[in-house]
Amino acid sequence: MTITEYLAKKTSLSSEQIAELGAKFSSKEAMPGDYVIKEGEVCRKLLFLREGCMAMVYERDNKSFIKDFIFENSFASVYESFITSKPARYALKAITHCKFESISLHDLEKTYQSIPQLKALSASQTEAAYLNITRRMESLITLSAEKRYLELLERRPRLLSEIPLYLIASYLGITDVALSRIRKKIGS
C-alpha cells in the first residue's frame, strides 16, 4: 500500500490534501542489513513502510538488541531523534528487502501549515507508537518468554519466515538457545 492509499483509507483528508502530502514523499528501497537511519545521526525523516520489515536496533559490544520491529503499512522513524533533533540512540535497519516512502521533517512541518488536520493524524500515530511500546514493556515484565513468543506469533504469523530467529530471540529478551527450547516445546 502506498502512502496515498493508506491516507485515503485511514484518514478523512480530502483527495487534494492527500495528493499534496503524497507529493512530498519519495520512494526508496533498502536491502537486508542496510541502515535506513544510523545510530548517532540526527533523524530528519519520517518513513511509511510499504513492504518488508525493519527493526529498531541498539548495537553494543558487537551485539544487537531489538527494541521493536516495524512491519508493512506502518510509519517508522527514530522518533526521539526526529522530535528533539538530537542524535539517534538506536538505528533503524532493514531486516528484509524494504520498500518505503520518506518525507523530510522540513517538508512535513511545511505541510502542517497547509493541512492543519495532519497534526491530529501525527498525534494519533504518536499515541499508537506509545501504546505499542507500553504493551511491549508490560509483556517483558509480566509474561514468560514462551507467552511473549506465542503472543508475537499470534500478532505476526509470517514472522518466522521473514525474520532470522536470533533477532526474534533478541526482541523477546532471550538467547537463541532459549528460543529453540520454546519452539521445540510448542512444536513450531
> Looking at domain 3-142, which of 3.40.1380.10, 2.60.120.10, 3.30.430.20, 3.20.20.10 is its CATH number?
2.60.120.10
Predicted confidence at residue 136, as pLDDT, reads: 87
pTM score: 0.87
For 46, list phi and psi in degrees, rounded to 5: -115, 135
Predicted confidence at residue 158, as pLDDT, reads: 75
Domain ranges of the chain: 3-142, 143-188
Mean pLDDT (the chain) is 91
- Paired with 101 in beta bridges are 27, 48
Nearest CA-CA partner of 136 in 122, 146, 121, 151 = 151
Give 58-81 pLDDT, tens digit per residue.
Answer: 998 888 899 989 989 999 999 899
Give 151-162 pLDDT, tens digit per residue.
Answer: 888 888 777 778
Give 111-124 pLDDT, tens digit per residue.
Answer: 999 998 888 888 88
User: At 188, is the pLDDT very low, low, confident or very high (cuts 50, 70, 90)?
Assistant: low
For 89, list phi and psi in degrees, rounded to 5: -90, -5
Give 125-177 pLDDT, tens digit per residue.
Answer: 888 888 988 988 899 899 999 999 998 888 887 777 788 899 999 999 999 99
- Write the burial class of residue 113 (CB in 10 Å: 0-12 exposed, 13-18 middle, 19+ buried): exposed
What is the percent of the chain with per-residue pLDDT over 70, rounded to a whole number?
A: 99
